[in-house]
Amino acid sequence: MANLVIVESPSKAATIKGYLGSNYKVIASKGHVRDLPKSTLGVDVDNDFAPHYINIRGRGDVITQLKKEAKAANKVFLATDPDREGEAISWHLATVLGIPLDKACRVTFNEITKAAVKDAIKHPRTIDEDLVNSQQARRILDRIVGYKLSPFLWKNVKSGLSAGRVQSVATRIIVERDEEIRAFVPKEYWTVDAQLKTASGEELVARYVGKRKLESETDAAALLADLEKGGFTVANIRAAEKKKQPAPPFTTSTLQQEASRKLGFQSQRIMKVAQELYEGINLGSEFGGVQGLITYMRTDSLRISSVAQEAALSLIRGKYGEEYLPTSPRVYRAKSNAQDAHEAIRPSDVTIEPKQIKKMLTSDQYRLYKLIWERFVASQMAAAVISTTTIELENGKNAFRASGYTVKFQGYMSVYGTDDHQDEDGNYGRLPQTAVGETMTTVSINPTQHFTEPPAHYNEATLIKFLEENGIGRPSTYTPIITTIIARSYVKRNGKALVSTPLGEVTTRLMMENFPDIVNYEFTASMEDKLDSIENKQNTLHSVLTDFYGDFEKALEKAMSQTTRETVEIPPEESNVECELCGSMMVYKNGRFGRFLACPRYPECKNTKAIDRNGNPVVKKEVEREVADFKCELCGGDMVLRTGRYGSFYACANYPTCKNTKQKVLEIGVPCPQCGAKIVAKRGKGRASFYSCERYPECNFSSWDMPTNELCPQCGKQLFLRKSRNTVLCHDKQCGYKREEIVSEKNDEETEA
């Protein structure tokens, strides 16, 4: 009997199967097989918050296959992802398959390589129930909040809304930033730059750094008048060297921030591509076939294994030289609340360089792997050495300053470059040679008006950074949080920016008034710490849920009793699109098929427009329509071919002035058995086809069965094809001739037409 290995995804199953050989069968559970029911709370709050799990609808076939394979297997290994969610999936699988929880069946690996997978199979462990309880506590908390708060929102905002424990906080973050932007009042200020020339003819630009406040054009003009009285003299030159240290390898948060900034990827796209790199890519025989290219991508740890570090140092030594190695191997420390369950995100095999496998990867896979590879290698390299120069100049009592630097030693920057401007000689803002006391020639003095700018809208990268810095959510939840608040229309994308909607603002205000703890940053972060404490055996599932539910239940009862039956008005979201019929500015609305633009003067004006995913009107392309060879019998206009819910038909080109329509028919090349004219196929009620004489109603012949050119061998009358039974029969019931027939492909097409 073969051993059975159960993983989450089919692609991972294919990779692992290649490592383990014929004694192992690897199949995928395709995620969770059990969960709380959707139709009820599914949590018995009066019985220690006992959850009621059921098999997920639609997973019956998967569960049946898993049971069959587990029963026939010698051993069963549960190899789901190495995190809370993966541990919970293994726990559910063990329950469904009847595997005792004290049996060593759980295997985990931080990277999908042959060595890591084989080593994990050799050292199975029991399911970590503390890790499972931590996941259960999160699931139950989220279910209680969502299930209990949703009716409150239905009552006061509109039906169909739902609340989320962490999603509500994320919405609040974006709402408050938008409020801050709207309340921002810009202030005027001026800068004054002097373009100067040294005695050797080289130029530099120095900026005014004196004590005068330049808050208006008058202030700037006064400074310029003062500068005209004197000249610019070098007062001081400061030169220094500093070391610029490399950034640590990626965590989930920093990967999403950097891939968003450098590659322009959204978080969902980043995690999808990272998952593909983790689960395995076929690199061909040169690189050993299917390989997992990176370590597990949901992590907040900065730790790396000693084996991976030694491999990186060996590569740096051989590729760049000894001087590019740090004086001692680098150790990065994560934040105090990091779970540190597995390593930072790094290449599984650092010797596989991105350029070597570019042809085997998609464009997205290559770009993300290159980013991860370069960041990891750079993190193990020596610091860059920067030579900085600051020139301080005086014009009377007015101080100016020019700064620049050159790179003395590239260090890690030779792999993971800087975004600063670099000249042809590899210098960054290099300043010309000069000396203290030198007088410079004034080329020009340039005053520039500025206004302070409001804080920027959050985008996915900056929101994830805020969530991480404030301990809200965990690596595995960042992407689902953003996806959910957009899907629920609390937040929308405006280019790369995340902007709150009127619905999000109204909902956030209600939540802050009635459930301040739920949308409180510190409270949400403390709940994350409590969930971690369950995993670390410092707390229990029951105590965490009990502590939360008491205050939550009181707040819910108070909110439901105090709020009125009148729903909160959601202000319409105005667009910058003008209604071409009445001139009003159109507003966004939600319908059965998503958002669309509508005239605010409805029902007086019923104009609507479809929009694309960025909220812009969709421009309808003119479609060339087939013109019939007959005219409209009502107005004499052209009849053009159109498509409706029941198939093709001809309609008058003067619609809606003339609403004449005529069904499109298809000749089948068979004579009418009554008058000898042509038989045509037509649409009946619904989508069924029937056949009638083209001279109808003068000739009243019609039939659901298709006439043929074949005559009955018994009575000599015309035979008909009954497509529903694949039968050819005589319509003369007294004759009763019948035979089975295989319907030809041609007849299928004709009948469907």
As annotated, the active-site residues are 296
Give residues with Cβ within 8 angstroms of 517, minimum separation 6.
Answer: 523, 551, 552, 555
How far, in Å, are 221, 231, 233, 393 from residue 397 at the CA level? Answer: 16, 11, 11, 10
Please state whether beta strands 76-78 and 3-7 pair in parallel, antiparallel, or not at all (unpaired): parallel
- What are residue 391's DSSP bridge partners? 237, 402
Distance CA 371, CA 257 (A): 12
Distance CA 353, CA 351 (A): 6
Distance CA 325, CA 322 (A): 6
Helices of type H across 123-194: 129-156, 165-183
Distance CA 472, CA 136 (A): 18
Distance CA 26, CA 15 (A): 9
What is the chain's Cα-based Rg? 36
φ, ψ at 197 (rounded to 5°): -130, 135
Distance CA 659, CA 632 (A): 10
Residue 277: other Cβ atoms inside 10 A: 25
Distance CA 177, CA 497 (A): 11
CA 133, 96, 89: angle at the middle one, nearest 5? 40
Three-class SS state of 297: coil
Distance CA 159, CA 701 (A): 54
Distance CA 446, CA 464 (A): 40
* Element spanning 447, H or E: strand 439-451
- Cβ proximity of 404 and 429 under 8 Å: yes
Record the tokens describing residue 157, joined without a space: 């905002």
Three-class SS state of 529: helix
How far, in Å, are 12, 72, 111, 122, 556 from residue 125 at the CA level? Answer: 21, 22, 18, 10, 43
- Cβ proximity of 247 and 415 under 8 Å: no
Cα 387 to the center of its chain, rounded Å:
42
Helices of type H across 634-736: none
Distance CA 263, CA 478 (A): 19
